[in-house]
Amino acid sequence: MSNKRAKSERDDTLGYDRQKAKDIFAKKLADDAGGRRANSQMRRDAELIVTLLEEGDVAGARMSVFSSTFEELFDIDRSKAGARCRAALKYLREDGRVHPNEDKHPVYSLKR
């Protein structure tokens, strides 16, 4: 007696979209080759920073202001908020969207 089951339609489907996986892989490979490693949270954080700068009453702000904002907004500890802000601002600097001034504690503002 054999314990083998008959091949079903389920065996033919992978449970994921192969082309979508290939497209995502190619994009991530290109990002990795270019030295960019951005995840969706970092992008959302970066967009929040851009929105705060665009719609705020000031032209720029220091990292501590962004960190405090993230800390209170997302109810996370200061070190985690700082890490998220540093990553988002680095992403924005590399993308050419913000620039710091030359101060010891730089003020980040949008590039015009």
Q: Mean pLDDT, to the nearest integer, of 75-80?
A: 94
C-alpha Rg value of the chain to the nearest Å: 22
Distance in angstroms (rounded) separating the CA atoms of residues 47 and 54? 10
Q: What is the pLDDT of residue 21?
A: 84
DSSP H or E segment with residue 85: helix 78-94
Lowest mean pLDDT among 19-33, 37-51, 89-103: 19-33
Distance in angstroms (rounded) separating the CA atoms of residues 105 and 61? 10
Lowest mean pLDDT among 14-18, 45-49, 70-74, 97-101: 14-18
pTM value is 0.65
Kindly list the structural domains of the chain, giving each domain's residue range(s) and its CATH number in brackets, ordered by start. 40-110 (1.10.10.10)
Distance in angstroms (rounded) separating the CA atoms of residues 14 and 108? 47
Which tokens in the block code for residue 108?
């980040």
Helix ranges (H only) for 34-77 are 40-55, 63-74
Q: Are 77 and 70 in contact (CB under 8 A)?
A: no
